[in-house]
Amino acid sequence: MKLTMLGTGNALVTKIYNTCFVLEDNHQYFMVDAGGGNQILTQLKKAGYDWKDMKHIFLTHKHIDHLLGMVWMMRMITQFMNAGKYEGDAYIYGHDEVIHILKDMADTLLVPKQSALIGKRLHLVEVKDQETKEIMGHPVTFFDIHSTKAKQFGFMVEYDGKKLTCCGDEPYCEEEKVYAENADVLLHEAFCLYEERDFRHPYEKHHSTVKDACELAQKLHIKNLVLYHTEDDHVDNRKELYKAEGVHYYTGNIYVPDDLEVMKF
């Protein structure tokens, strides 16, 4: 499984893009979130992807740093469909709140010729808690992360006898254990270093520190931990700083990717 981070930052970053990524297997793609603007198209291009190949897209929740980039994807998809330059159909997955917002945005922001394709070739697919879909030829199970802010879903993909789990952009809760425990890859947010908690206030924002995420990964027997959705004050040396803190609490492999970085698991 190939994982390409299109963006790794939290909502307020300016030096990097908001968290979103692409999973790739056997030349099939699963895009997760879209960031906060049309830079999603730039990030896909820089990563070497054709945006038209992103036939399956999942939006975790309605926060603008994850959802607004999808407006541009919807516009491009429907525009190219109408021009006869888009092959096949496209599918956007999300829980009921996300799908309702996407439908409203399509009706409000797209021209009628574009919005008319919603439900015909651009499918807005509502997924339920614990529901499994086949994407990239693998079972993908969506689950409610029990957010204290906005309703949010994570997911687990099973492939080649392995398990990759994404907990969204909030701290793990025990309801996610069945999906996260013993995962070969766990994607978990790390808002900042533990030593910076007093002035960055991650807990007030319902986020984790590197220490918290690494302690969790150790407890859940995670093989590979990917830390993302971070601040951007330490972009130049974030890898070194985060890993230096994390190794005190976790004995597995720690990944602190930059925007556009590629990992294979």
Q: What is the CATH number of the domain that holds 62?
A: 3.60.15.10
Q: Which pLDDT score is estimated for 40?
A: 98
> How many domains does the chain contain in total?
1
> Residue 241 pLDDT more than 90?
yes
> What span, in angstroms and rounded, lies between the C-alpha atoms of 61 and 150?
7
Q: Mean pLDDT over all residues of the chain?
A: 97
pTM: 0.97
Mark out the alpha helices in the chain (DSSP H runs).
39-46, 64-67, 69-82, 96-109, 112-115, 177-180, 197-200, 210-219, 238-246
Residues for the chain: how many in total? 265
Domain limits at 30? 2-264
Angle between helices 96-109 and 69-82 (to 10 degrees): 60
Q: What is the per-residue pLDDT across 194-204, written as a single tens digit (0 to 9) for each?
A: 999 999 999 99
Q: How many Å from the N-terminal Cα to the C-terminal Cα in the chain? A: 5
Q: What is the per-residue pLDDT across 169-219, written as a single tens digit (0 to 9) for each?
A: 999 999 999 999 999 999 999 999 999 999 999 999 999 999 999 999 999
- Which residues are paired to 94 by β-bridges? 126
Q: What is the per-residue pLDDT across 99-144, written as a single tens digit (0 to 9) for each?
A: 999 999 999 999 999 999 999 999 999 999 999 999 999 999 999 9
Confidence bin at 148 (pLDDT 50/70/90):
confident
Q: What is the per-residue pLDDT across 59-77, written as a single tens digit (0 to 9) for each?
A: 999 999 999 999 999 999 9
